[in-house]
Amino acid sequence: MSGIRRIVLDILKPHEPKITDLALKLCSLKEVDGVNITVYEIDKATENVKITIEGTNLQYDVIKEVIESMSGVIHSIDEVAAGRRIIEDVKTPQDRY
């Protein structure tokens, strides 16, 4: 078992610090392989971003601490993958979305 391999988070943050700084800070965690931060809404003082983090044995509490130390607020955890390999969400006809 390799613990949590991917976490997708919905975040609200002020424009500063920039997403480049937030990405670097998250990557400095030793369990993190890579981070993608995508901006999906920009307001006057804040921006909504989606953060995808991949790695091995990711620790949600540590990640949360880093994000909050950069003035970000976690709105929701939207996806998690765990295990020996990353499993993708499989589309089925029963999906209500």
Q: Which amino acid is at 31?
A: E
Q: Which residue in the set 11, 13, 35, 70 belongs to the binding site for its own copies (CB under 8 A)?
A: 35
Binding residue count for its own copies, defined by CB under 8 A: 54
Inter-residue contact 13 to 23 (CB < 8 Å):
no
14 lines the binding site for its own copies (CB under 8 A)? no
d(CA 65, CA 68): 5
d(CA 4, CA 82): 4
Residues that bind its own copies (CB under 8 A): 1, 3-8, 10, 18-20, 23-24, 26-28, 32-42, 48, 50, 52-54, 60, 76-90, 92-97
